């Protein structure tokens, strides 16, 4: 059963909660801006992402406040001075960025209030955050307003003109190490997520242009409740079923006889296949599962 909602039938605040709870985790743009008088502002926004690399394009949205339809200082600043530094947020600074989200009066410097270090930028006027592992100096190319009521977005389209990356988050090949950068994302309500440790996992891309696909899976696998949809997808991503000769030879192998103790037990075969799937040893999982097809 689904709870089906027409956005027009509920309040903006209620819809806002559903949107943020479902579209998550969201990366956080910690945006530093400056107004025409030189006042610096620093504020986090989770309506944010990268949208291209040539030209390098980031977009974030300081939406109108739902409760009173007012706009945020960040939006007002980029309208006056079309530049921004988008600093990424890691776990070591998450409590500080929450503090910086306080709605201080205009002119209050959140760098000072939240204890961040102002570092001069090279190509834009706003400073960058010294504690951030990566900072993007940006020129504002366009601002697109999606509405005039509370909750409406203001898409700030930015072109990256300079990138600063802390060397201690790079791996030996010079790429950003996802464990070292230790990013956080925004969820619904007061919730955040830390993108590190056991939360990280890799999903291989399909190789080439051919794979088995769900429509090529044997019927007995599609009908079983012993494999999850994710496990079936791993099997379906494989290029082709192992040939019959290989399956037959595996049934006579020392590994198979040792694992099954001479008894082709269905539960044991599924358990072994699931173990190999967890280790991304997909062909080996196929060799076990296809023994069931031969029983």
pLDDT at site 295 = 57
What SS3 state is found at 239? Answer: coil
Q: Three-state secondary structure along 146-213?
A: CCCCCCCCEEEEEEEEEEEECHHHECCCCCECHHHHCEEEECCCCCEEECCHHHCCCCCCCCCCCCCC
Domain boundary among 199, 227, 258: 199
Q: What is the pTM of this model?
A: 0.86
Write out the two tokens for 187.
């969820």
Same domain, 159 and 270: no
Same domain, 68 and 130: yes
pLDDT at site 66 = 87
pLDDT at 244 over 70: yes
Sole residue written with tokens 């706009």 = 71
Which CATH number goes with the domain that contains 94? Answer: 2.30.110.10
pLDDT at 125 over 60: yes
Domain boundary among 167, 199, 231: 199
Same domain, 29 and 133: yes
Average pLDDT for 275-286: 93
DSSP state for residue 243 in the 8-state scheme: P
Measured CA to CA, the distance from residue 129 to residue 116 in angstroms comes to 6
Same domain, 28 and 144: yes
Residue 1 lies in a domain: no
Same domain, 53 and 168: yes
Whole-number percent of the chain with pLDDT over 70: 97
Domain boundary among 199, 228, 263: 199
Same domain, 194 and 271: no
pLDDT at site 262 = 62
pLDDT at site 208 = 66
Average pLDDT for 238-257: 91
What SS3 state is found at 41? Answer: strand
Write out the two tokens for 1.
């059963």
Residue 270 lies in a domain: yes
Whether omega before 25 lies within 30 degrees of 0, making that bond cis, reads yes
**pLDDT tens digits for 18-71?**
999 999 999 999 999 999 999 999 999 999 999 999 999 999 999 999 889 888
**pLDDT tens digits for 70-112?**
889 999 999 999 999 999 999 999 999 999 998 899 999 999 9
Same domain, 74 and 114: yes
Which domain, by its residues, includes 235?
A: 214-293
Residue 136 lies in a domain: yes
Out of 11-20, 159-168, 191-200, 219-228, least confident range: 191-200
Residue 209 lies in a domain: no
- Cβ–Cβ under 8 Å, residues 25 and 196: no
What SS3 state is found at 44? Answer: strand
Write out the two tokens for 99.
């503090």
- Cβ–Cβ under 8 Å, residues 124 and 135: no
Same domain, 250 and 277: yes
Measured CA to CA, the distance from residue 209 to residue 204 in angstroms comes to 14
Measured CA to CA, the distance from residue 56 to residue 158 in angstroms comes to 8
State CA 25 to chain mean position distance. 6
pLDDT at 293 over 90: no
pLDDT at site 27 = 97
Same domain, 135 and 231: no
Whole-number percent of the chain with pLDDT over 90: 80
Residue 208 lies in a domain: no
CA-to-CA dists, residue 143 to 42, 62, 85, 104, 112, angstroms: 19, 11, 16, 24, 28
User: Does the CA dihedral 194-54-144-101 come out positive or negative?
Assistant: positive
State CA 77 to chain mean position distance. 28
Q: How many domains does the chain have?
A: 2
Mean pLDDT of all residues belonging to the chain? 93
Contacts of residue 274, Cβ cutoff 8 Å, sequence gap at least 6: 226, 227, 231, 285
């Amino acid at each position: 059963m689904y709870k089906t909602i027409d956005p027009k039938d509920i309040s903006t605040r209620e819809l806002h909660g559903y949107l943020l709870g479902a579209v998550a985790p969201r990366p956080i743009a910690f945006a530093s801006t400056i107004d025409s008088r030189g006042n610096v502002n620093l504020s986090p926004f989770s309506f944010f992402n990268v949208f291209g690399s040539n030209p390098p394009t980031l977009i974030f949205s300081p939406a109108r406040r739902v409760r009173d339809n007012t706009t945020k200082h960040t939006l007002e600043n980029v309208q006056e001075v079309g530049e921004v530094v988008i600093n990424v947020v890691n776990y070591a600074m998450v409590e500080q960025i929450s503090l910086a989200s306080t709605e201080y009066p205009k002119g209050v410097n959140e760098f000072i209030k939240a204890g961040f270090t102002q570092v001069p930028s090279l190509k834009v006027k706003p400073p960058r955050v010294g504690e951030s592992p990566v900072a993007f100096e940006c020129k504002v190319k366009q601002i697109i307003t999606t509405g005039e009521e509370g909750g409406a977005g203001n898409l700030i389209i930015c072109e990256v003109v300079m990138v600063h990356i802390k060397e201690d988050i790079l791996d030996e090949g010079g790429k950003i190490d996802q464990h070292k950068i230790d990013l956080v994302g925004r969820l619904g309500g007061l919730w955040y997520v830390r993108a590190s440790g056991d939360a990280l996992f890799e999903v291989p891309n399909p190789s080439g242009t051919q794979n088995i696909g769900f429509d090529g899976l044997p019927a007995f696998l599609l009908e079983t409740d012993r494999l999850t949809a994710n496990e079936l997808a791993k099997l379906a991503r494989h290029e082709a079923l192992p040939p019959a000769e290989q399956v037959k030879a595996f049934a006579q192998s020392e590994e198979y006889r040792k694992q099954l103790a001479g008894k082709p037990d269905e539960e044991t075969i599924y358990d072994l296949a699931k173990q190999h799937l967890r280790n991304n040893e997909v062909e080996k999982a196929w060799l076990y599962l296809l023994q069931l097809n031969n029983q």
